[in-house]
Amino acid sequence: MSDQRTRAVFLVLTNPKPPMTDAEFNRWYDTVHVPDVLKTPGFVAATRYQHADPKPGDARYLAVYELDTDDVAAAGKALGQVLKEARAQGRMADIQVVSAAYYKRLDT
């Protein structure tokens, strides 16, 4: 996340829901979901991580989306529309979202 244009991030902690396997979850996330999210104005990059030592109940996956806008409210609204359309097209999986939040970069 060293890109100069990154002004905010959207952090999403998730888990697959049974009967979805981790392999199916990761395939869907990487080949369907991330490309859908990156179609959203303001979203410029995505990096995914897997929890190194998850405990029961922990989110096992983290997605960090980089934004090149200060208007995270507008970006969030646009993402909501993109995901609504993806859901209508059958492109959304049934997953557990443990936490999702936008963070703006501090200019210190």
- For the segment 82-100, the average pLDDT, to the nearest whole number, is 97
Q: In the predicted model, is pLDDT for residue 71 greater than 80?
A: yes
d(CA 96, CA 108): 35
For 40, residues 6+ apart whose C-beta sits below 8 A from its C-beta are 75, 78, 79, 82
What's the token pair of residue 101? 């939040």
User: pTM of this prediction?
Assistant: 0.91
For the stretch 10-69, pLDDT in tens is 999 999 999 999 999 999 999 999 999 999 999 999 999 999 999 999 999 999 999 999
| Cα–Cα dist 12/41, whole Å | 18
Question: Mind listing the domains of the chain with CATH numbers?
Answer: 8-104 (3.30.70.100)
